[in-house]
Structure 1
């Protein structure tokens, strides 16, 4: 029987590193820590080996198609398939960033949405029947973060396609280029990208349902990482827990959902986020 394989993108530090650590402790198979910087990735692997954990490493830059294809071919040759794929790689500009809004929009959407999409398009053919995919989003990925009701209706449309969603994400970048994004899209490119991730998750679940593959999006909580200037109250291991729950413990009935940091399924379409959680102040 082929060895099981779990992959975590962008996992040399932060929540991704915590997810790899958790998988190494419990997943019955090969766990891949990946990073675009090989030296940092191998340093992260050494840290885990010092804890008597045994992750595998492969360089992977989700923003580069060639890197994704090289990784795909390697996994195909070595294992023949993927059992768990956790799309964690992402960027965020801080609130006090002086980068122009259009630069923030272009870079954030490119990495957080479009690169995640290309990662899935290239790796999904390797998903085994019954595989689990977890797309790491945020509480800012809740649909209520989009001010325009027209846009919200488009994003939650049960018949929305990947092409239509990608077009909406491009429309946001174009609106930002014209300085016309605030009224309809809000002030946060990070929020738009993570809303896009949840909308994509719902589409992917529809597409993969017949293969018994579970695709879910997760809000990991406000975690102390480089992305949050280490201001979050949660450790990376605590932030890893909801993704680990979806990868290892969630019932098969949880599919196409938006899962909160306490492992509960949240209504993504609700008019407000759950009240007991403060808004993540990344942006």
Structure 2
């Protein structure tokens, strides 16, 4: 029961897989590789075992509350909680995807924001005091990506609640269905979803401060993965570097921050994002 536990969602490939690899090498505890697809997940575990590593596997589909609740109950039955939670699972439509923006908006926000939120709501009660949560965001998740000044002001408001943030995310989906989204929100559902993740991380940090839990969001860099159509220059292990820094190495003072792939804290609210950071 006393074992330390780390959990990575969406970890059968890409950055999530590399985060599991890094945790297995350095984390003094049990590391759970989780994935929606059991076959792919178990193959990923087998691949890491060939490297001499020993992750454990559990099925976890963040889009299904019952799946997350089953995982929560399993962890509660075996351990005394979670020490590290890395919320990596996400989707992105390709730039040439044929689906209309209304479909892309609804599906992207459902997975990347609403499902991440529900996963946190189910798993946060079993986080140990002092735990670390790493939410995978993106350079696309910088507040300056949202055209509307009024929306930016709402999203960075320190009094913003999760229900209010979720309402804003739903407003975007509704606007996309009506074709009225571009002026205020821009043209990328992925951007809106990851801005939502970063804003959510800030709110979550305020909510768990009394439990000494550290919640941060991270841009892992432009990585060579399926999600980037393998256009990114960074390897998956390079993409795992900053998430692993937040999970294992960052000072306890780093909380409620937006961290870049070079492990530097970036001002999420700045008017312009310097790409050279």
TM-score interval for Structure 1 and Structure 2 normalised by the shorter chain: over 0.9
Corresponding residue of 2:95: 95
Deviations 1:101-153 (A, max 9, x none): 00000000000000000000000000001000000000000000000000000
What are the residue-to-residue correspondences of 1:10-89 with 2, within 5 Å? 10-89=10-89
Cα-Cα RMSD: 0.7
Tell me the distance in 1 between the aligned counterparts of 2:163 and 2:22: 35
Tell me the distance in 2 between the aligned counterparts of 1:93 and 1:151: 24
Deviations 1:59-115 (A, max 9, x none): 000000000000000000100200000000000001111110000000000000000
Question: Between Structure 1 and Structure 2, how many residues are aligned?
Answer: 277
Tell me the distance in 2 between the aligned counterparts of 1:176 and 1:106: 8
Give, in angstroms, the shift of residue 209 of structure 1. Answer: 0.2
Corresponding residue of 1:260: 260
Tell me the distance in 2 between the aligned counterparts of 1:38 and 1:131: 27
Tell me the distance in 2 between the aligned counterparts of 1:272 and 1:6: 35
Name the SS of the counterpart of 1:74 in structure 2: helix
Give, in angstroms, the shift of residue 212 of structure 1. Answer: 0.3
Tell me the distance in 1 between the aligned counterparts of 2:64 and 2:129: 27
Name the SS of the counterpart of 2:7 in structure 1: strand
Tell me the distance in 1 between the aligned counterparts of 2:230 and 2:223: 7
Name the SS of the counterpart of 2:269 in structure 1: coil
Corresponding residue of 2:214: 214
Corresponding residue of 1:281: none
Corresponding residue of 1:113: 113
Tell me the distance in 2 between the aligned counterparts of 1:93 and 1:273: 23
Give, in angstroms, the shift of residue 168 of structure 1. Answer: 0.1
Structure 2: any 5+ residue segments left out of the alignment? none
Give, in angstroms, the shift of residue 274 of structure 1. Answer: 1.9
Tell me the distance in 2 between the aligned counterparts of 1:66 and 1:262: 36
Tell me the distance in 2 between the aligned counterparts of 1:273 and 1:47: 38
The normalised TM-score by structure 2 is 0.99
Corresponding residue of 1:272: 272
Name the SS of the counterpart of 1:227 in structure 2: coil
Tell me the distance in 1 between the aligned counterparts of 2:275 and 2:212: 33
Tell me the distance in 2 between the aligned counterparts of 1:77 and 1:145: 43
Name the SS of the counterpart of 1:228 in structure 2: coil
Q: Which moved more, 1:1-10 or 1:215-224?
A: 1-10
Tell me the distance in 2 between the aligned counterparts of 1:98 and 1:275: 29
Q: Which runs of 4+ in 1 moved over 6 A?
A: none
Give, in angstroms, the shift of residue 275 of structure 1. Answer: 3.1
Corresponding residue of 2:245: 245
Tell me the distance in 2 between the aligned counterparts of 1:273 and 1:49: 40
Question: Does the alignment pair 1:122 with 2:122?
Answer: yes
The normalised TM-score by structure 1 is 0.97
Name the SS of the counterpart of 1:226 in structure 2: coil
